[in-house]
Structure formats: structure tokens, C-alpha cells
Chains A and B, each alone.
Chain A
Amino acid sequence: MDDDAFWYEAALLVGVTNALNVVADAPLETLEPARPDAAAQAVFAEILAFYDRAEVPVAFRRVAADPGYLADLWGATRRAFSDQRLTRRHKEALAFAVSVTTRSAFGTAFHLGEMRRLGVGERGVMEVLGVTQMFSSYTKIADTLQLEPDMDGIAAVDWSPAPGGATAPPPARAPEAP
């Protein structure tokens, strides 16, 4: 995964995951419209189909009073979680890891359910939980001692352009001293 496209995709997924979690975990029940209008219902139908479930996740219900906003939030979410360079299955694992790390009750339960629905077994769940736990340890050790990054040189630089863009040549190296 030394292609930046994977990492851009993962970062966008993390952002959207956190956006859904912060609304779902906050005490915002009173914002859920009792009778969402037709436009919101149309978006709800897409959400139910995408997740193959009977109930719209709370993160979407709470913004349904503004159907335009709901539609855009859903569009970003659907894009973030769709198969692209990363599989939807892997994306649910990433979202689960982020949700556990950020102590999101909604995100943890929701993405655990999605992982299982998409075929991840108990071993696979435990593997993701193990990595999440171990790196929640390493990160706190590093922060406590204020360690400075010293492993970033391992990864090669990806000089490919932005999607649809033109290739930029790598910066010229300074001439070596004679």
C-alpha cells in the first residue's frame, strides 16, 4: 500500500466516520423529525438499501430536518464507504478501529455490525481489535515521552499526480559536491 491513493481514501473515511459518530453519540434525540419529509425519505431509502437494514442509522436521522444537508452527508458517506482502492470490508474495519479509539458507542457497535454483515469472522474482528489496542498503547507511550518521528523514511514518495491531473516531475536533486 505504498500508493498514496490508499491513504487519501483512508483519511477521508476516517473523517466521515468521525463526523457520523460525533452526531450519533451526542444527546441530540430531540432533533430527529417525527415525520421526515419526502426528500428525506428518499435518502433514507438509499441508506437502508446500502446497509441492508430495516432502520436508518441514528447519525442520519438526526440531520433529516434538513433534507439537502442529509443528502450531501449521505453522498459523502456512501462514497467514503464504497469499494474503491480499499474494499468496503476493509473500510468498515478501519471505521471500527477509529470508533473504538475515539470511544464512540455508536460507531463501535455500528461498524462491528457492518464488519460481520460483510463477512468478517470473529478472528478478523479480534485481529482489528488487537491492532487497535496495541497501537493505542504505542501512541500513548510515544506521547508520554514526546518521541519524535523517526520511521517516516521507510515509505517511498508517490510521485503520481492527483486523479485526472498531470504528472509533476520529482524535485531535482542538488548537484553532488565534487
Chain B
Amino acid sequence: MPTVRLRDASEYPGPVQKLFEIAKAWFNYDFAAPPAMSRVMAWDPELGAFHGRAMKRAMGPGEWSRAEKEMVAAVVSGANACAY
């Protein structure tokens, strides 16, 4: 169980809602609610925006495809023993 109360998307201010739309577009998936990680990163938009851009830059297609990079992300998450 999370150690904090994850705020509902509606509890975030208007400008931050844009981050949720960006996340939805990134995953190309119509989430019933923004993923927990999106809501955490939106807590501090000044950090979240930079972090999100760095992530998108790293994950975007380049010498490796997005799919290949998603697998890199998965093995890193596994190596970190992260269930999320």
C-alpha cells in the first residue's frame, strides 16, 4: 500500500492536467485514471516536467527503437526489483 495518499487527478491544478494528457498520449492508452507515477511526478511539476522530458528524450526512437528501449527499461526495473 502506498505510503502517501495518491491524489485523484481532479485534485491537481488545471495546468498540471496537461501532464496527464501528455502521459496518456505517450502510452497511447486510455487510462481510467492517470497512472500513479504520473500523479507522483505531477506533484512537483518543475521537477516532473524536466524528468519527463529527459525520459521522453531517452525513450524516443534513435539508434534503438522505442520497443527495444522499453525492454531495456523493463530489465532495469527487474534488476532494481521494482514491482511497479
Contact = CB atoms under 8 A, between A and B. Distances in A.
A102 B75 CA distance: 11
Interface residues of A, number: 44
B78 A14 contact: yes
A157 to B, nearest CB: 16
A127 interface: yes
Contacts of A10: 71, 74-75
A30 interface: no
Query: Most chain-A CB neighbours within 10 Å: which of B1, B35, B72?
Result: B72
A94 B75 contact: yes
Given A10-B71, A147-B40, A142 B64 contact: no
B2 A145 contact: yes
Interface string B22-58: 0000010100000111001100000000010011011
B18 to A, nearest CB: 20
Contacts of A97: 72, 75-76, 79
Contact of B76 (A1, A135, A149): A135
A139 B40 CA distance: 12
Interface of B is mostly: helix
A123 B62 contact: yes
B70 A94 contact: no
A134 B69 CA distance: 11
Given A1-B67, A149-B83, A131 B77 contact: no
B11 interface: no
A160 interface: no
Interface of B: 1-4, 6, 27, 29, 35-37, 40-41, 51, 54-55, 57-59, 62-64, 67-80, 82-84
14 contacts: A7-B71, A86-B71, A97-B76, A101-B79, A127-B58, A127-B64, A128-B64, A135-B72, A136-B76, A138-B84, A141-B40, A143-B82, A145-B40, A147-B6
